[in-house]
Amino acid sequence: MKSNAMSFYTFLMTLRNPDSTSESATFANAAFFDSGFPKQSCDYDEISSYLELNASYLASMTIFDDVWQLYQAKIA
């Protein structure tokens, strides 16, 4: 990871849209209210583990994987 790369959370917040029902926007909206979310992390395993154990608001880990791919493309 580049030292100046944005964290996954920072990227995720660009997808927030309270008026949207898309899975990515719903994920971002819910993560915004999750005080325990690893906000500084850029590590897939750390974020994935956190979500699997703590994010009841995430309907499927596939949503995270899809957004992670968008994130990777953004920081590449």
Q: Are 62 and 24 in contact (CB under 8 A)?
A: no
Contact yes or no for 23/63 (Cβ under 8 A): yes
Predicted confidence at residue 3, as pLDDT, reads 52
Whether the per-residue pLDDT at 12 is higher than 80: the answer is yes
Model confidence pLDDT, tens digit, residues 19-40: 999 999 999 999 999 999 999 9
Q: Where are the domains of the chain?
A: 8-75
Q: Which CATH architecture has domain 8-75?
A: Orthogonal Bundle (1.10)
How far is Cα 74 from Cα 54, in angstroms, rounded to an integer?
26
Q: Tell whether pTM > 0.75.
A: yes
pLDDT score at 5:
80
- 48-75 per-position pLDDT tens digit: 999 999 999 999 999 999 999 999 999 9
Q: Report the Cα 76 to chain-centroid distance in Å.
A: 17
Taking residues 8-26, what's their average pLDDT?
Answer: 97
Residues 6+ apart with CB under 8 A from 71: 8, 11, 12
